[in-house]
């Protein structure tokens, strides 16, 4: 099915005479959200979909660690906590990536009580590499709220929504999976499955469309096994009813799928026509100069300066915004592509203003090398980083952190390698290590 068509523009039409009324083309019919409001599942459809999906799920569900938590009365809060952590981690992240993070997280903080005692820095380090770091802070803040209000998880969607960082989807997942409340959950997988079941071609990003998908999902949810049913729909979308290559021959609800039926009656129709494809937001292109600043404590530097008792300068990002609260190498935002001289001048100004480092007074430059470039992709940002290694000799290593200056610290190579760093920072450090190894090999030959 084609994307929604808009009414043709007639603003430039001209009247033939003053007595003749301007004629406007008749708008072509288009799909509207009013049409979705008329959609519903028949009782017989609901029964068939529930039975088919649950039987399929029982036989084919993936073995995931958060699904292994027992559901006994004594451990119901542990179950709710595991669902909460897993669902937050799974937002914008692949299941296979989440598994290891989830296991490490639960090993360190097995209950909400344990998590509530953690620090923001500990949580950020455990989360490093998962991206969307605000999710981790919300988990910590939410855990503190739960403990402050008695230590028991809220049992209903309405009460769960009051916890910091728990939105409509996460509340529905926890309430249905852990507490058996017959409420739906809607994510991208659920939208796709229902859009195909009912041949809904409205914009899946539109608020009205999403609202109606929630209504339809609410009709389907099984009152006896709401958690399993919700997971079954999501599992179907993740494994069979995929965006580009749906496996309709193995789908347990193929006989109820209107999109599949339409393909049998119309050779030009495709199951993947549903839901409507939406143009992606254009990525913003950003640029930054990253200085891996290594400060020597030894008077006699070696080629491998890490052997000389050196330390690396790390700075802490602001507590709000992108990668909030994380430690990174000093970096400077650039106005587009710039040459090496301009980048180094920007880095020098930044280090002097932010940390009081003055290369002509307290520090001597031992070496300064351009390491390379790395492109790091965020959701809507393509960040190109120009990375350099700046080795300094300084007698000012332990100076006081003056009020108003950016928080910073010095760490040795061993500590740096074990810290929870963002993917971009870790990549910059690895590039420096490879550069150093290459330089050492050239000198030895």
Chain position carrying tokens 């938590």: 69
pLDDT (0 to 100) of residue 85: 98
Chain position carrying tokens 């519903």: 40
DSSP 322-377: TTTT-EE--EEEESSS--HHHHHHHHHHHHHHHH---TTTTEEEEEEEEEEEEEEE
CATH class (in words) of the domain with range 33-185+215-239: mainly alpha
Cα gap 177→79, rounded to integer Å: 8
CA geometry: angle at 9 spanning 4 and 212, to 5°? 25
Cα gap 77→83, rounded to integer Å: 10
pLDDT (0 to 100) of residue 182: 98
pLDDT (0 to 100) of residue 296: 87
Q: Which helix (H) or strand (E) holds 391?
A: strand 381-394
pLDDT (0 to 100) of residue 266: 93
Structure tokens at 238: 């993740």
**199: closest CA among 362, 50, 35, 65?**
35
**36: closest CA among 192, 184, 195, 190?**
195
Structure tokens at 66: 């958060």
Angstrom CA distances, 391 to 49, 109, 135, 396, stand at 65, 39, 35, 14
Q: Is the distance from CB of 102 to CB of 86 less than 8 angstroms?
A: yes
Cα gap 235→257, rounded to integer Å: 16
pLDDT (0 to 100) of residue 401: 54
Strands 408-412 and 284-296: unpaired
- What are the sequence ranges of the domains in the chain? 33-185+215-239, 284-444
Q: Is the distance from CB of 312 to CB of 410 less than 8 angstroms?
A: yes
Q: Note down pLDDT in tens along the chain; length 445 residues.
A: 444 443 344 444 433 334 334 434 333 334 444 466 678 999 999 999 999 999 999 999 999 999 998 765 568 999 999 999 999 999 989 999 999 999 999 999 999 999 999 998 899 889 988 888 889 999 999 999 999 999 999 999 999 999 999 999 999 999 999 999 999 999 999 999 999 999 998 999 999 999 999 999 999 999 999 999 999 999 999 999 999 999 999 999 999 999 999 999 999 999 999 999 988 888 899 999 999 999 887 655 544 544 557 899 999 888 777 887 889 999 999 999 999 999 999 999 998 888 777 766 555 788 999 999 999 988 789 999 999 999 988 655 445 455 556 788 889 999 988 787 888 999 999 999 999 988 877 766 6
The sign of the torsion formed by the CA atoms of 165, 169, 171, 174 equals negative
pTM of the model: 0.80
Catalytic residues: 87
Neighbours of 414 (CB within 10 A): 9
SS3 state of residue 178: coil
**329: closest CA among 395, 380, 376, 381?**
376
Residue 255 CB-half CA count within 13 A: 11
CB contact burial 146-175 (16+ within 10 A = b; e otherwise): beeeeeebbbebeebeebebbebbbbbbbb
Helices 43-60 and 207-220, axial angle in degrees (round to 10): 80
Residue 242 CB-half CA count within 13 A: 9
33-185+215-239 and 284-444 share one fold: no
**183: closest CA among 125, 222, 132?**
222
CATH code of the region 284-444: 3.90.79.10
pLDDT (0 to 100) of residue 403: 55
Residues in contact with 200: Cβ distance below 8 Å, sequence separation at least 6, in sequence order: 36, 39, 194, 209, 213, 274, 275
């Amino acid at each position: 099915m084609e994307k929604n068509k808009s009414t043709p523009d007639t603003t430039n039409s001209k009247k033939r005479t003053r007595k003749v009324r301007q004629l406007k083309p008749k708008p072509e019919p288009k799909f509207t959200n009013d049409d979705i409001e008329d959609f519903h599942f028949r009782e017989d459809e609901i029964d068939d979909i529930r039975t088919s999906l649950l039987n399929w799920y029982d036989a084919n569900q993936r073995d995931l660690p958060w699904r292994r938590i027992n559901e006994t009365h004594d451990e119901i809060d542990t179950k709710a906590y595991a669902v909460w952590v897993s669902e937050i981690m799974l937002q914008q992240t692949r299941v296979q990536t989440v598994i290891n993070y989830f296991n490490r997280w639960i090993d360190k903080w097995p209950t909400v009580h344990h998590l509530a005692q953690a620090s923001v820095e500990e949580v950020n380090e455990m989360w490093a590499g998962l991206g969307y770091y605000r999710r981790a802070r919300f988990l910590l803040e939410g855990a503190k709220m739960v403990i402050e209000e008695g230590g028991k998880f809220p049992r209903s969607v309405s009460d769960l929504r009051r916890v910091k960082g728990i939105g409509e989807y996460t509340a529905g997942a926890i309430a249905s999976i852990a507490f058996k409340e017959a409420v739906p959950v809607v994510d991208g997988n659920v939208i796709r499955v229902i859009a195909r079941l009912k041949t809904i071609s409205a914009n899946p990003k539109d608020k009205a469309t999403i609202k109606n998908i929630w209504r339809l999902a609410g009709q389907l949810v099984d009152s006896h096994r709401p958690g399993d049913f919700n997971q079954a729909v999501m599992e179907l979308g993740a494994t069979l009813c995929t965006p580009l290559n749906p496996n309709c021959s193995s789908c347990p609800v193929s006989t109820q799928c209107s999109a599949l039926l339409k393909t049998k009656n119309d050779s030009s129709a495709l199951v993947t026509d549903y839901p409507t494809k939406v143009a992606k937001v254009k990525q913003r292109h950003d640029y930054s100069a990253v200085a891996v600043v290594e400060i020597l404590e030894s008077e006699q530097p070696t080629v491998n300066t890490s052997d000389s008792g050196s330390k690396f300068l790390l700075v802490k990002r602001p507590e709000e915004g992108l990668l909030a609260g994380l430690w990174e190498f000093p970096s400077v935002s650039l106005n587009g592509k710039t040459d090496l001289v301009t980048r180094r001048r920007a880095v020098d100004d930044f280090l002097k203003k932010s940390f009081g480092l003055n290369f002509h007074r307290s520090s001597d430059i031992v070496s300064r090398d351009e390491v390379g470039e790395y492109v790091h992709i965020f959701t809507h940002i393509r960040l190109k980083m120009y990375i350099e290694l700046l080795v300094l000799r300084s007698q000012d290593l332990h100076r006081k952190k003056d009020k108003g200056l950016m928080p910073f610290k010095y760490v040795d190579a061993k500590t740096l390698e074990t810290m929870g760093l963002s993917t971009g920072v870790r990549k910059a450090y690895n590039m420096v290590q490879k550069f150093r190894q290459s330089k050492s090999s050239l000198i030895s030959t």
